[in-house]
């Protein structure tokens, strides 16, 4: 039987290593139960609530794999999805977060200028 606390810790440490490999200072948070917790991972100077999850199979991964397979060469796969009456969520590679944010901000800026708002 898998110890869920040890598994959670292992996944959180792995996620921190991923962020650090991208030059982002990530660390595990102080773990305690209850609302208002800082999440599993803390990145200083941000207002992010990060949860690190790992499972054998996550449905989002299948959708993401389809986006990767269908993406044109050089484009960044991004999946947005929601459950019925649920909130929209985005799925992408962590390594692409900065690039995706940059492209979305650029698109918003161009659209605002095109609409005469910028």
Same domain, 63 and 46: no
How many domains are contained in the chain? 2
- Is there a single domain that holds both residue 99 and residue 42? no
Q: What's the pLDDT tens digit per position in 96-115? A: 999 999 998 988 898 889 88
**Same-domain status, 84 and 118:** yes
Reduced to 3 states (helix: H, G, I; strand: E, B; else coil), residue 59 is: helix
pLDDT digits (tens, 9 = 90+) for 8-43: 899 999 999 998 998 889 999 876 555 656 788 888
Same domain, 60 and 34: no
Q: Is the pTM of the predicted complex or chain greater than 0.75? A: no
> CA of 14: how far to CAs of 48, 60, 61, 72, 96, in Å?
18, 19, 18, 30, 17
Judge if 44 and 86 occupy the same domain. no
For residue 35, give its domain range: 1-54
């Amino acid at each position: 039987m898998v110890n869920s606390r040890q598994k959670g810790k292992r996944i959180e440490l792995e996620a921190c290593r991923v962020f650090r490999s991208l030059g982002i200072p990530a660390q595990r948070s102080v773990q305690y139960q209850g609302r208002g917790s800082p999440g599993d991972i803390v990145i200083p100077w941000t207002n992010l609530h990060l949860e690190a999850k790992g499972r054998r199979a996550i449905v989002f991964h299948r959708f993401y794999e389809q986006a990767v397979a269908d993406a044109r060469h050089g484009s960044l796969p991004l999946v947005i999805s929601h459950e019925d009456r649920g909130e929209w969520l985005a799925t992408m590679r962590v390594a692409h977060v900065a690039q995706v944010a940059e492209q979305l901000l650029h698109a918003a800026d161009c659209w605002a200028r095109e609409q005469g708002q910028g």
